[in-house]
Amino acid sequence: MINLPKVTFKKENIVLEVPAGTKLVDIAEKSGANINFSCKEGVCLTCLVNIVKGMENLNQKTENEKATLEAFGAAENQRLACQVVINGDVVIETLD
Ligand code: FES
């Protein structure tokens, strides 16, 4: 039996199991999580989220994402949801 990565949206109390390699952007809207997207290129900050647990189970930041987060002065535990790929369990906290 294969253990699929578990994605938890903390505030919404939504838990999903997805295949490793799933892009967060592809499941966030369908799941009912409260994440808004705009550029989907990692340059606008609209989709900023807190990673409560499982940062190590996500892809490395893309160049765009790194530059945008640095320019904003984002915290260590923040990622741009449109750039995130899920490789293992993660707990995500959406921002208001
Ligand atoms: S939607 Fe613009 S940075 Fe993610």
Please work out whether the CB of residue 43 comes within 6 Å of at least one atom of ligand 1: yes
Question: Model confidence at 77, in pLDDT bands (50, 70, 90)?
Answer: very high
> Rounded to the nearest whole angstrom, what is the distance from the C-alpha of residue 89 to the centroid of ligand 1?
22
pLDDT in tens, 7-36: 999 999 999 999 999 999 999 989 999 999
Ligand 1 touching residue 24 (CB < 6 A): no
Q: What number does the ligand 1 atom closest to the CA of 82 have?
A: 4
Complete DSSP assignment for 22-67: EEHHHHHHHHT-----SSSSSSS-TTEEEEEE-GGGBPPPPHHHHH
Domains of the chain by start residue, with CATH: 6-94 (3.10.20.30)
Interval between CA 1 and ligand 1 midpoint (Å): 35
The confidence score (pLDDT) of residue 29 equals: 87
